[in-house]
Amino acid sequence: MLTFYPGPSKVYPEVKDYMAMAYDEGILSIPHRSDRFVQLSKNVVALLRKKLNIPQDYHIYFVSSATECWEIIAQSLTRHNSFHLYNGSFGEKWLQYVRKIKPQAKGFKFGVNEEIPVKDLEIEAEPELICITQNETSNGTQIKETTILNLFNRYRDALIAVDATSSMAGISLKYIKADVWYASVQKCFGLPAGLGIMVCSPRAVFRAKEINERGHYNSMVMLYEKMLNYQTTNTPNVLGIYLLQQVMEQRAPIKTIDHDIVKRSQDLYEFFDLFSSITPLVTNPEVRSNTVITIQGPEKLIDEMKRNALRNEIVLGNGYGPWAKNTFRIANFPAISDDEFKILKHFLLSNYE
Ligand SMILES: *Cc1c(COP(=O)(O)O)cnc(C)c1O
């Protein structure tokens, strides 16, 4: 069975062996205050920095999911409000979660084919925090580096938090241009779910210390204090952290991976131009995602294609939210091989061109 589901997604085939190795090495039963854990954690943090180009002065925390990050950020980095720019389901869900914690949080929705109109934004007061979803997994759009830079330049006093759940470790991200970046490992890392990575700027940590919110086990100041010694506040997903270590050791630097993923996405968008009854949902090439390709068509056809693909042992990702019925999604994640894409293309060409 081939899966192109954009999360949980295909895991690297090596994960099977890594899991057995974790068992054999006895890592699954180590205490999370032990030297062995500290060594593992330290090594993974160093590997993430090296392979993903995360700046030396940025802090890296292990959490359990991207959803958890939505809460941590609202609890620990804002006193009253944040401002959310979104065009799809994940960005919107983030705002909804935050409003339960900080009811004054506000949002601005932009169109699927639009870039964020940074110059024309009217935000009443200077926001404490601006929240964006770099790669919106629900519709296959992404926010360009220059847009993040423009936000950074226009709102100097605000922190910028970026949901990069379906792009971190897939494309190269300019970490210095924002303050918080986070992801879960079941997307571009090619690993099983249950682990999240949060990357924070010195400015973000400074803000967390200033607010000094300590009401939760995952308050950011507490994550910070424990991580000074490469530890976590709660017993973490040690297997997940171990698998992350093994995968990151084998992986090429992000520049190389970015190059391959961007090229493969361009190739895929061109490929889908061959079809007349299905087309990419996103027509503006400036905002098309490199890691999640969303294809739209008549509901009946989309439904038939997904079923037919399944009969051929190919899993296409369901559409999501408002696009649940008239689209399917294809993960262009690093763990999926070029050969697998050849099989997908062959299936589509021979049945639907
Ligand atoms: C998958 C995803 C999430 C949720 O991730 P969890 O690990 O389930 O918390 C959040 N944001 C985006 C953009 C995603 O793709």
Please provide residue 152's backbone torsions phi and psi, each rounded to the nearest 5 degrees. -60, -45
Question: What mean pLDDT comes out for the span 328-338?
Answer: 98
**Cα–ligand 1 centroid distance for 282 (angstroms):** 20
CA-CA distance, 322 to 140, in Å (whole number)? 13
pLDDT at 163: 99
- Strands 135-136 and 141-142, sheet pairing: antiparallel
Q: How far is the CA of 40 from the centre of ligand 1 (A)?
A: 25
Q: Which of 197, 344, 325, 211 is nearest to 268 (CA)?
A: 344
Specify the fold of 2-8+253-352: Aspartate Aminotransferase, domain 1 (3.90.1150)
What pLDDT score was predicted for residue 186? 98
Dihedral angle of Cα 201, 257, 90, 221, to the nearest 10 degrees: -20
Task: Give the model's confidence band at 124: pLDDT under 50 very low, under 70 low, under 90 confident, else very high.
Answer: confident
Architecture (CATH level 2) of domain 15-250: 3-Layer(aba) Sandwich (3.40)
Q: Which residue, judged by its Cα, is nearest atom 14 of ligand 1?
A: 165
Output phi, psi for 82, to 5 deg: -140, 160
| Amino acid identity for residue 285 in this structure | P
Instruction: Please identify, by atom number, the ligand 1 atom nearest to the C-alpha of residue 164.
Output: 13
Rounded mean pLDDT of 91-111? 97
* Residue that is written with structure tokens 């090594």 in the block: 43
Determine the distance separating the centroid of ligand 1 and the alpha carbon of 185, expressed in angstroms. Answer: 10
For 23-46, what is each residue's pLDDT tens digit? 999 999 999 999 999 999 999 999
pLDDT of 123 reads 86
Question: Three-class SS of residue 232?
Answer: coil
Distance CA(148)–CA(153), nearest Å, equals 9
SS3 150: helix
Ligand 1 within 6 A of CB of 67:
yes
**With a 6 A CB cut-off, is 133 part of the ligand 1 pocket?**
yes
Count the Cβ atoms, other than its own, within 10 Å of residue 285: 10
Q: How many residues does the chain have?
A: 353
- In this predicted model, what pLDDT tens digit does every residue of 286-307 receive, in sequence order? 999 999 999 999 999 999 999 9
Q: Is the pLDDT of residue 176 over 90?
A: yes
Q: Is the pLDDT of residue 59 over 80?
A: yes
Both structure tokens of 23:
């068992």
pLDDT for 23: 98
Task: Point out the ligand 1 atom lying closest to the alpha carbon of residue 6.
Answer: 15
Q: Where are the alpha helices (DSSP H) in the chain?
A: 15-24, 35-52, 66-77, 89-101, 145-154, 202-211, 220-227, 238-250, 254-272, 299-311, 338-352
Ligand 1 within 6 A of CB of 71: no
Q: Which atom of ligand 1 is nearest to the CA of 196?
A: 7
Coil, strand or helix at 159: strand
C-alpha 29: how far from chain center = 29
Residue 106 alpha carbon to ligand 1 centre in Å: 20
CA 131/CA 158 separation, integer angstroms: 10
Atom of ligand 1 nearest to the CA of 166: 15
Q: CA 238, 242, 245 angle in degrees (round to 5)?
A: 140
For the stretch 255-283, what's the b/e string if a residue is b when 16 or more beta carbons lie within 10 angstroms of its beta carbon?
eebbeebbebbeebbeeeeeeeebebbbe
Give nearest CA residue, ligand 1 atom 10.
66
**What's the whole-number average pLDDT of the chain?**
97
pLDDT of residue 353: 85
Structural tokens at position 267: 């190739």
Task: Using most ligand atoms within 8 A of CB, pick from 90, 180, 323 the residue to mutate for ligand 1.
Answer: 90
**Ligand 1, atom nearest to 7 Cα:** 1
Domain positions in the chain: 2-8+253-352, 15-250
pLDDT greater than 80 at residue 255: yes
Which atom of ligand 1 is closest in space to residue 135's alpha carbon?
A: 13
